[in-house]
């Protein structure tokens, strides 16, 4: 039996390697990232375990459509599917082609289907560690994999080991949003989600619609008992796809007078999808010529938050924080010098004469492929504090049940 208390799994986002932000490759120049934070999931792993290729007390997981390392560029390591989780045959059949070999693929980066395989891999590594609790951190599809991995552990492994999740802009991409994305399983003790405010220019940013999963029963004072599986008319679906279809609880984005969930926190932050994960370019793109110190406070703040929450949940870091500036000062800088963030999302004024609010981000907590199953982000978050500069539209209304915090 292991004496490890907490095991941490760090899931990288789409097209990101396990040394993302630490080693330059043809598709990614390390200079776009803050030197203090790097690409946050990878840097966090390095600061816990001391080496990029370490597998304990933390491990990193490559992103969808990418190989493990900057070198070699044409090969990846096999994923762990064989246990200790007792995964069903339909799941093992689905994931087998995403293990080992050359996984670098633009098509795979778009469809995101490999996320299921990477989530099963991370879940198996967590359970194999023998730890008493698991901490998951991820960005983009890696953030979504945190939730899927928690479901796989609950369904196919020990149900009584607590899992804590810190996600940075979870984005499933196009395709089916299964119930195992939109609902947290009962074994998740804490969920903290940080969402980028300025990833909102339509239609280009539509594929970046963010996922906001539903709180589980214990978070809302209800029973942890659930019924796994789908309805009778879903008999033809793979069993893992419908695990949570009959367990969907209250929608956090819909209006409600219910008490606030416990252990469930949502944050809005200025910047784009890449900004909140470490990118410091003024446009959220990938040229080092566009790097700006004005943008750096966003990833520095998220990095400090990630380390703070993980430490609170039992993760031990081998080195001290790379960001010494306090969080209050970072937040003040973000909201004082905000012109670059305004430009990222279409300007300081987001109200438009065009239909469908093209400068407002969409978020969803609803499974399915219907593109209308979404909310306007500036509706559900409520009114930002007047001292903070968050461009909103005059059409906003109907704040959601869960109260958001603004960074």
Q: What pLDDT is attached to residue 3? A: 75
Percent of the chain with pLDDT over 90: 90
| Overall average pLDDT of the 314-324 stretch | 97
pLDDT of residue 386: 84
Per-residue model confidence as pLDDT tens digits over 207-221? 999 999 999 999 999
Separation of alpha carbons 172 and 112, rounded Å: 7
> Which of 266, 106, 129, 123 is CA-nearest to residue 197?
266
CA distance 67 to 57: 22
Q: Is 302 helix (H, G, I), strand (E, B) or coil?
A: helix
pLDDT digits (tens, 9 = 90+) for 234-268: 778 899 999 999 999 999 999 999 999 999 999 99
Residue 1 has pLDDT above 80, yes or no: no
Say how far apart CA 385 and CA 369 lie, in whole Å.
Answer: 34
Q: Taking a C-beta distance cutoff of 8 angstroms, is the pair 306, 137 a contact?
A: yes
SS3 at position 33: strand
- CB-based burial label for 283 (10 Å; 0-12, 13-18, 19+): middle
Tell me: the pLDDT tens digits for 57-71? 999 999 999 999 999
> What is the average pLDDT across 31-58?
98
Tell whether the torsion through CA atoms of 390, 394, 395 and 400 is positive or negative.
positive
Residue 395 in contact with residue 244, Cβ under 8 Å?
no
Beta strands in 245-388 (DSSP E): 264-269, 362-364, 375-376
Q: Answer whether residue 232 shows pLDDT above 90.
A: no
CA quadruple 180, 404, 310, 361: dihedral positive or negative? positive
- Of the chain, the end-to-end C-alpha distance in Å amounts to 42
Q: How many CA atoms lie within 13 A of 294 on its CB side?
A: 17
Instruction: Tell me: pLDDT of 301 over 90.
Output: yes
For residue 2, pLDDT over 70 is answered with: no
CA angle 218, 221, 225 (to 5 degrees): 50
b/e code 79-101 from CB counts within 10 Å (16+ = b): bbbeebbebeeebeebbeebbee
pLDDT of 368: 80
The whole-number average pLDDT for the span 344-359 is: 92
Q: What is the pLDDT of residue 339?
A: 96
Per-residue model confidence (pLDDT) at position 236: 80
CA-wise closest residue to 337 among 277, 296, 288, 283: 296
- Cβ contact 221:258 at 8 Å: no
Is the CB of residue 199 less than 8 Å from the CB of residue 345?
yes
How far apart are the C-alpha atoms of 40 and 339, rounded to whole Å?
24
4 has a pLDDT exceeding 90? no
């Amino acid at each position: 039996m292991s004496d490890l208390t907490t095991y941490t799994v760090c899931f990288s986002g789409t097209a990101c390697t396990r040394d993302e932000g630490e080693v330059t490759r043809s598709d990614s120049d390390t200079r776009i990232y803050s030197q203090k934070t790097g690409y946050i999931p990878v840097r966090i792993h390095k600061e816990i375990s001391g080496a990029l290729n370490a597998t304990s007390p933390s491990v990193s997981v490559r992103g969808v459509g990418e190989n493990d390392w900057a070198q070699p560029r044409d090969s990846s390591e096999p994923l762990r599917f064989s246990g200790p989780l007792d995964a069903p045959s339909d799941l093992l059949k689905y994931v087998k082609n995403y293990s080992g070999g050359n996984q670098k693929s633009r098509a795979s980066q778009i469809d995101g289907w490999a996320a299921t395989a990477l989530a099963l891999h991370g879940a198996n590594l967590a359970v194999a560690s023998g730890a008493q609790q698991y901490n998951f951190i991820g960005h983009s599809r890696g953030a979504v994999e945190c939730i899927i991995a928690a479901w796989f552990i609950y369904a196919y492994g020990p149900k009584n080991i607590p899992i804590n999740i810190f996600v940075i802009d979870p984005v499933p991409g196009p395709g089916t949003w299964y119930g195992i994305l939109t609902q947290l399983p009962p074994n998740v003790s804490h969920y903290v989600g940080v969402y980028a405010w300025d990833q909102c220019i339509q239609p280009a940013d539509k594929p970046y619609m963010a996922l906001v999963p539903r709180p589980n029963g214990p978070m809302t004072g209800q029973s942890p008992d659930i019924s796994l599986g789908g309805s009778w008319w879903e008999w033809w679906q793979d069993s893992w796809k419908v695990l949570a279809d009959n367990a969907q609880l209250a929608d956090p984005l819909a209006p409600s007078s219910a008490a606030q969930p416990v252990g469930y926190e949502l944050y809005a932050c200025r910047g784009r999808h890449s900004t909140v994960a470490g990118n410091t370019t003024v446009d959220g793109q990938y040229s080092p010529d566009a790097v700006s110190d004005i943008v750096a406070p966003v990833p520095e703040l998220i990095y400090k938050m990630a380390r703070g929450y993980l430490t609170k949940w039992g993760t031990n870091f081998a080195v001290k924080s790379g960001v010494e500036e306090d969080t209050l000062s970072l937040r003040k800088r973000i909201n004082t010098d905000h012109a670059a963030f305004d430009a990222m999302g279409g300007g300081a004024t987001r109200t438009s004469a065009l239909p469908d609010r093209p400068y407002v981000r969409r978020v969803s907590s609803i499974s399915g492929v219907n593109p209308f199953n979404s909310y306007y982000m500036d509706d559900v978050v409520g009114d930002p504090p007047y001292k903070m500069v968050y461009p909103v539209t005059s059409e906003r209304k109907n704040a959601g049940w869960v109260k958001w915090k603004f960074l």
